[in-house]
């Protein structure tokens, strides 16, 4: 599928986890039938992109072998592409997985390492004329929440994202198919997360659309003292502030509610 992030004013990206250990169990779908039913619900509710992941990146999670990721995705991605008209994104940073899913019709690779782990993934994306979401993460999912520390949080994230985008462009990825994500909760304290959202507009100087993933995350639970199942309202509040501060791509578990909140906020802000 041919697409550009500039095709829409903003994008709602629905999360589907083909895993057994992602932090929000409602997003976990294992077999093909479950995935297709969940995807149909999300598309009906207004999802503009479906983002499928086969390896959990929650704090403390361990990586899975490439072969496991491929086995989980190889049949699902072609079926999603065949059945739905929205772009299919795959949350992976591994070159062999990226090649498999792009060959199956996926339109976007969502790399949580921002090409730091495997820079060669960008060349594979370019070969398929696909898009990339490039995220900042300090450390790895296993270690990222142990002692997050920055000398200058916003500048360090901005520099990392700029370098990630440059790697992608140099590899041949079209600039209008690139989005940048500051990585809420990925090697950040609660205060870091607050600061990133408050100063999100700073990243607009990078001249790429900004993606934001706040849905049901731990910092919302800490503010409200609520479990993951009860963080919807907090997630919507953070997303709306993100929109006001310049975010244009929202990676979410709750599509219908986010579409409604962002639509109202977008009209008020005249976006």
- DSSP letters spanning 155-224: HHHHHHHHHHHHHHHHTT--GGGEEEE--TTSS--HHHHHHHHHTGGGGGGG-SPEEE--TT-HHHHHHH
Burial code of 112-136, b = ≥16 C-beta within 10 A, e = fewer? Answer: bbbbbbbbebbbbbbebebbbbbbb
251 is catalytic: yes
CA distances from 96 to 229, 246, 257 (A): 34, 33, 35
217 is catalytic: yes
Catalytic entry in 188, 217, 231, 248: 217
CA distances from 234 to 9, 27, 50, 128 (A): 23, 18, 22, 38
Catalytic entry in 188, 231, 245, 251: 251
DSSP H helices, the chain, are 32-45, 66-73, 76-83, 95-103, 121-127, 153-170, 190-198, 218-224, 232-244, 255-268
Rounded Cα gap, residues 170 and 181, in angstroms? 19
CA-wise closest residue to 193 among 184, 201, 202: 184
Catalytic residues: 217, 251
């Amino acid at each position: 599928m041919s697409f550009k992030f500039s095709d829409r004013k903003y994008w709602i990206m629905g999360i589907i986890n083909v895993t057994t250990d992602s932090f929000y169990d409602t997003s976990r779908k294992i077999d093909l039938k479950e995935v297709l039913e969940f995807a149909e619900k999300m598309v009906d509710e207004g999802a503009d992109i479906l983002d499928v992941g086969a390896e959990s990146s929650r704090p403390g999670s361990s990586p899975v072998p490439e072969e496991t990721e491929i086995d989980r995705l190889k049949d699902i991605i072609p079926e999603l592409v065949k059945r739905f008209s929205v772009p299919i994104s795959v949350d992976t940073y591994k070159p062999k997985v990226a090649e498999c899913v792009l060959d199956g019709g996926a339109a976007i690779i969502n790399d949580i390492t921002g090409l730091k782990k495997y820079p060669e993934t960008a060349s594979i994306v370019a070969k398929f004329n696909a898009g990339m979401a490039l995220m900042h993460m300090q450390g790895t999912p296993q270690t990222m929440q142990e002692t997050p520390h920055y000398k200058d949080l916003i500048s360090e994230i901005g520099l990392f994202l700029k370098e990630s985008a440059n790697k992608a462009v140099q590899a041949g990825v079209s600039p209008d198919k690139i989005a940048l994500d500051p990585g809420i909760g990925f090697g950040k304290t609660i205060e870091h997360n607050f600061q990133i959202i408050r100063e999100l507009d700073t990243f607009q100087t990078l001249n790429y659309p900004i993606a934001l993933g706040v849905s049901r995350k731990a910092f919302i639970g800490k503010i409200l003292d609520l479990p993951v199942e009860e963080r919807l309202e907090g997630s919507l509040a953070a997303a709306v502030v993100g929109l006001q501060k310049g975010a244009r791509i929202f990676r979410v578990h709750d599509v219908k509610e986010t579409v409604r909140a962002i639509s109202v906020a977008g009209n008020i802000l005249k976006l």
